[in-house]
Amino acid sequence: MIDSKPEKAADEYTLKGSFSHLPFHSGQRTTRPVIAISLKPLENALVWLMGLIVACGIIINTESRADLPTATLCIAVLLMAINLFSLTAVILVSLFCMLMLTALFLYHGGLERWDWASTTDFFRDLSLLAAITLLALRGKKICDELRHRVIYFSGSQQLSQTGCLGFRSGCEEFGWSEQSARIFEYPVDVKPTVSMVLARTHPADVALVQAGFDKAARHEPLIEIRHRLLMPDGRIKHVHMTATPLSPHFGHLDYLGAVRDVTASKLAEEALCRAQTQLAHVSRVTSLGELAASIAHEVNQPLAAITSSGEACRNWLARPQPDLDEVSQSIERIIISSNRASEITRRVKALSRKSDPLRQNESLNDIVGETLSLVRYELVSHKITPIVELAAFGGLISADRVQLQQVIINLIINACQAMDAVPPNERSLTIRTWVQDNEAVLEVADHGPGIPSDVLPHLFMPFFTTKESGLGMGLSICRSIIDFHEGRIWASVNAQGSSFFFALPIRVANDPGYASAI
């Protein structure tokens, strides 16, 4: 990589825009490159010393005073070549030398004599000086351009937290840029090796990275690895490496790769996920508040059954000839009812639980059935008898049960509220599931007022609501839950009202017929 830098005398240039916030830029016109790639003081002193020795040698070897201008320019070009002179200084030296050459020519009576030999000598020297200057300036310009490109390349690597690397399949040693060394936190002058990379890799990800290098050994066309680094002080970094082959080389394949430090975006992603989980929990608890009457009714039913079975049991026992068969049946009913009551409290507890999402193989139909038992009384109180058509028997989805219940409850409560303004005999709610293109689909269709076309695109946006006391977070949370499940959610207007759908990919086929069909 780059190990030298243009010194103060390098061309002046201005850096604007996105570079202006960088620590190495003052925001004003600068005479220094943005990234200081400086010679070490000892190297600098050596370069000066070498330049002076060569300059003295040129002066000593100058035979006559007439050669002095050419010698001076040679020295200037030499100093420029070793980066100690700027373009402006070389132009000034060159003009000075040409003036000196002309003065010497005139001083020696060149104008009066005007003989062929001395005049051609003069013009030859002059054109020689001009040619040397032009060639030197051109070389200097190309060199500076190259240096600037290297500086921008290096700067952009720092800005984007991306380093580059190049390696040959099956070889232990490889090359990388300074930024790659910074990401892996190795000294920039140490030659990297595969073992060094593995030494920094998080123990749990070593096999993953090793598999990446094995892929390179097999000459695979694209290698992509996302893994963690474990720094000596215990810090964890997240990196994303990609590499693609360049050209074969004696049975080996050269790869060019990039390594990006994605720690910041990974942490932001995790923080967002945590915030979404908390928000979903708050919204779930709010929905439970709305369902309080429904839940109380659901628990009351088995409790009432327990009471009546208990009373019956007492009566059977109070008879002169206790009917033990009837007693046993009553006790059986008590057990069933108390199990039902405790199942309802378990579901409510699960919904109010604050825990990280846990995806498991689930049946969409089972989740819908369980959710309906929680909202049944809510539907009754809105004078709605639901039509339930559950046909998604195709397979299991990978889902967090509680989160999906939350989505379904949200869609059902919205549908109930949408139909509040509709006469009771026209209210209808259909909950349907089916399998299509390897996805389990759910539809909640109502006979409400529908959704105006200008509202449709905003439905799933946070804080969008048309209700007076609405918060507008319900559908937005539904969307983030469905996104988390790698599914899709959408709404449409149907002939009688509106329909809300979500589709989730089927992960496991749970019926043999289905397995052979896909």
Residue numbers of the site for ligand ADP (CB under 6 A)? 414-415, 418, 446, 448, 451, 459, 464-467, 470-476, 498
Cα gap 316→336, rounded to integer Å: 19
Largest separation between any pair of C-alpha atoms in the chain:
158
Minimum Å distance from CB 358 to ligand ADP? 25
What is the rounded CA–CA span in Å between residue 264 and residue 269? 9
Q: How far apart are CA 187 and CA 176, in angstroms?
A: 12
**Complex with ligand ADP: residue 190 or 471, whichever CB lies closer:** 471
Burial class (CB in 10 A: 0-12, 13-18, 19+), 194: middle
Measured over the CA atoms of residue 346, residue 348, residue 353 and residue 357, the dihedral's sign is positive
Nearest distance in Å: CB 159, ligand ADP: 39
Q: With respect to ligand ADP, which residue has the nearer C-beta, 162 or 287?
A: 287
| Token pair belonging to 219 | 């000459």
Min separation Cβ 487 and ligand ADP, Å: 18
Q: Which residues contact 451 (CB under 8 A, 6 or more apart)?
A: 459, 491, 493, 498
Least distance to ligand ADP, CB of residue 450, Å: 7
Q: Residue 439 Cβ, how far from ligand ADP at the closest point, in Å? A: 22
Query: Residue 97 or residue 445: which is nearer to ligand ADP going by CB?
Result: 445
CB of 455 to ligand ADP, least distance (A): 6
Nearer to ligand ADP by Cβ, of 82 and 275: the residue is 275
Contact by Cβ (8 Å): 178, 154:
yes
R_g of the chain, CA atoms, integer Å: 41
Residue 94 or 287 with smaller CB distance to ligand ADP = 287
Residue of closest CB approach to ligand ADP = 474
Q: Angle at the Cα of 259 (from 194 to 229), degrees rounded to 5?
A: 65
Torsion of CA 69, 70, 72, 78, to 10 degrees: 160
In terms of CB distance, is 154 or 294 closer to ligand ADP?
Answer: 294
Of 179, 161, 301, 186, nearest to 240 (Cα)?
Answer: 161
Q: Which is nearer to ligand ADP, 86 or 430 (CB)?
A: 430
- Find the helix or strand (DSSP H, E) in which 359 lies: none
The minimum distance between CB 444 and ligand ADP, in angstroms, equals 8
450-456: Cβ within 8 A, 24+ apart? 450/493, 450/494, 450/497, 450/498, 451/491, 451/493, 451/498, 453/493, 456/491, 456/493
Nearer to ligand ADP, 151 or 384 (CB): 384
Q: Which residues pair with 64 in a beta bridge?
A: none
Nearest approach, Cβ of 207 to ligand ADP (angstroms)? 44
The DSSP code for 25 is -
The answer to whether the beta carbons of residues 392 and 367 sit under 8 Å apart is no
Direct distance between the N- and C-terminal alpha carbons of the chain, in angstroms, rounded to an integer = 53
Q: What share of the chain is helix, strand, coil (3-state, %, to 5)?
A: 55, 20, 30
CB of 459 to ligand ADP, least distance (A): 5
Separation CA 238–CA 230 (nearest Å) = 9
We find the least distance from the C-beta atom of residue 424 to ligand ADP, in angstroms, to be: 17
> How far apart are CB 432 and ligand ADP at their closest, in Å?
15
H and E: helices and strands count for the chain: 15, 12
For residue 357, the minimal CB distance to ligand ADP (Å) is 20
Q: Which is nearer to ligand ADP, 198 or 491 (CB)?
A: 491
Smallest separation, CB 492 to ligand ADP (Å): 11
Output 180 or 498, the one with its CB closest to ligand ADP: 498
Residues 35 and 151: beta-carbon distance below 8 Å = yes
